[in-house]
Amino acid sequence: MYKVAVILAEGFEEVEAIAPVDLLRRAKIDCVTVSLAGEKLVPSSRHIPVLADRSWEEVDFDEYDGVVLPGGLAGTECLLADDRVAALLRQFHEAGKLTAAICAAPTVLAKTGLLAGKRAICYPGLEEKLEGALVTCEEVVQDGTVITSRGMGTSVPFGLALVEYFLGSETAEALASKIVYRR
């Protein structure tokens, strides 16, 4: 069974975190939310407290096959400010594991050097922060082991792309149909 960690930093965008978690879990992928701060209760961008499954210190990331970064400007700033996140992203990238980000969070991948020469997308207006990336204008972009997406409105296609990455297009299409989503 695949394991994916979704990192929740204070100020994360709710839908960009919860929709992918929901879709990964519906697909029977072991998806765990991880609080970047010491507290498991993480305030979101709209001040909705979300209880993470685990704190950062409780996770052995070597057991995971992918890491997902939700956006939200404040959450992205927290991700950018934490050296543990950059180290984790590099570790996953070097191991050929999935690194995925949505909205403003692809800028974290760029700052870590993971987007150099790769096709990527982010929230409109932040494209100049995707240093080294080949910026496109799709809802979701996959380039090898990196998946990026534009924002809250693309959270479902982003989540389905994560499912497709691990379980294939047939499983993702079946799940899209089951949730009455047209691709």
State the residue for tokens 């960009």: 16
The string of DSSP letters for 69-102 reads E---HHHHHHHHH-HHHHHHHHHHHHTT-EEEEE
Q: Tell me phi and psi for residue 94, to 5 degrees.
A: -65, -30
Q: Which of 31, 78, 103, 122 is catalytic?
A: 103
CB 32 within 8 A of CB 3: yes
103 has catalytic annotation = yes
CB atoms within 10 A of CB 132: 12
User: Any idea which residues carry the catalytic annotation?
Assistant: 103
